Amino acid sequence: MTTSNPKEIVEQILQARWHSTISGKAQTYVGQFFDAFTLRQGVYAKVQGNHGIYRVSIFPGNKNVSATCSCYIGKSGYCHHCEALAHAFLLYPETFTAIPKYTMADVSAATTPERIHSVVRSLALAAVIEELEQNNMNLKGIAVSMGVSEQKIRSLIKKERQQGIIDDLTPLKLACVWLLQKFGSRGA
């Protein structure tokens, strides 16, 4: 995949999945997104749907551009919420906060709860686990310390790769960061 920025990624998925003109169903959601941001070439936001708040994302996948939504039909990203997110980003890119790609060193430098959350949220779980492993902590030990199975951690890494940012992983990432800072031989 040769896309290099969120705009190109959104344009690619729009062309592949939907028409250039927005559908009526999707139109109702354009302008309604909140907690909208870009990170690691992806576009993420939340929107109030008919059955609650949905997390919607468009991001580079393994071979193609991927999209996903937490609505009941959005797992593969073909719902009107994903279509609306694509159009909203192209129409109102200034409403999406660009979150930098942080490193583990940025976690140590964070001094407020909001900053810690922002930094940890942006880290990929796979990268945090890899850092722990480089500090002589094996996956089994990491899993035991967190009260989950190795298989669960592997499945969460896979899920994050398939769906982009998953807010529910932030506490797990924070626990990994704590382990690294507490027991890492190389420091954070």
How does pLDDT run across 69-95, given as a tens digit for each residue? 989 888 788 899 999 999 999 889 999
Q: What is the pLDDT of residues 103-112, one digit of tens each?
A: 888 888 888 8
What local confidence, expressed as pLDDT, does residue 54 receive? 92
List Cβ neighbours of 60 (8 Å cut-off, separation of 6 or more): 1, 3, 9, 41, 42, 66
Residue 181, Cβ neighbours under 10 Å: how many?
13
Q: What is the mean pLDDT of residues 109-116?
A: 86
What local confidence, expressed as pLDDT, does residue 62 receive? 62
Q: What is the pLDDT of residues 137-146, one digit of tens each?
A: 888 988 888 8
Q: How confident is the model at residue 188 (pLDDT cuts 50, 70, 90)?
A: very low
What local confidence, expressed as pLDDT, does residue 53 receive? 92
16 vs 175, more confident = 175
Per the prediction, the chain carries an average pLDDT of 84
6 vs 153, more confident = 153
Q: How far is CA 9 from CA 5, 14, 49, 173, in A?
A: 6, 9, 24, 26
What local confidence, expressed as pLDDT, does residue 72 receive? 87
pLDDT above 50 (res 18): yes
Q: How confident is the model at residue 181 (pLDDT cuts 50, 70, 90)?
A: confident
Q: How confident is the model at residue 1 (pLDDT cuts 50, 70, 90)?
A: very low
pLDDT above 80 (res 65): no
Q: Which two tokens stand for residue 160?
A: 């994050």
Percent of the chain with pLDDT over 90: 19
166 vs 39, more confident = 39
How would DSSP label each residue in 82-114? Answer: HHHHHHHHHH-GGGSEE-----HHHHHH--SHH
